[in-house]
Amino acid sequence: MVRVPVTFPRLAASTVRAPAHLSLNDRWYLDVNRFARQTPWLHGFMAQYAHYLGVALLALALLVAWWVARHDRHPDRAVAFVLWAAGGTVLVWVLAHFGLKPLVAEKRPYLVLPHVEVLLTRTHGYSFPSGHATVAGGVIAGLYLARRWWIAGVVTFLGLLLAFGRVYAGMHFPGDVAAGLVIGAGFVLVLAWPAVAIGEHVDRFIRQHTPFGVLVSAEDPRGRSLSPRWGRSQAWKPPARHPDLH
């Protein structure tokens, strides 16, 4: 992995935490950082995963969940749940990034703890809560609400690995990612029912009254399959009846 040169000035003595004043959050961070130092063979993968790959895989999982929801017996509601998992996650990330972070104004770990391993480009942005972990929590909760069980199970692993990766890469304290997971999941869960109710009505309108019904259901209101897996739209036909042979 190519390391980005660090041009940060030396930490001021007033910003460095003395060993006697380390919190449990600090100590857990240093434990993970020590593990990162001992596993250099993981640095390349974890740096990429913690930066963008983990989020990309979560987005891919949402696309798969949407595709599966289109084949549900009640596609309007099924798709509305998946869309809320995506839309609610984006909304809570915006609130966390532009609202909570400036409000709490917690410094990044490497700005208060000297000589730590950092795998990504150092920034002056605030640390609490972790935006990546907030996204992970929202997607995990949303897909469990949507009852896409196997996808939600895979996403749980991917999301928790992403949260751990942010600490492993040196960008966040463990408390930052734990808070992000809780905030993301809590926001999506609390506002799910009104959001899904509205989304269900919108999906039904799209399916029944617009040419974009394929985005909601694999079948249009006339019972024709719209799924590309058939190659083309096919109307359902009853089985042919054979005349009785006497």
Task: Tell me the pLDDT tens digit for each residue of 114-161.
Answer: 888 888 888 888 889 999 999 999 999 999 999 889 999 999 999 999
Given a contact cutoff of 8 angstroms between Cβ atoms, the answer to whether 167 and 127 are in contact is: no
Helix, strand, or coil here: 225?
A: strand
Contact 91, 138 (CB under 8 A): no
Do you know the residue count of the chain? 246
Q: Which of 124, 117, 105 is nearest to 9 (CA)?
A: 124
First to last CA, the chain: 80
pLDDT, tens only, 11-50: 444 455 545 567 888 889 999 999 999 999 999 999 999 9
How crowded is residue 238: how many other Cβ atoms within 10 Å of its Cβ?
5
Question: 35 near 42, Cβ under 8 Å?
Answer: no
- In a 3-state reduction of DSSP, which class is residue 210? coil
Tell me what the pLDDT averaged over the chain comes to.
83
Mean pLDDT of 45-64: 95
pTM of the model: 0.79
Helices (H), 39-130: 43-48, 54-69, 75-95, 101-104, 109-112
Provide the 3-class DSSP secondary structure of residue 234. Answer: strand
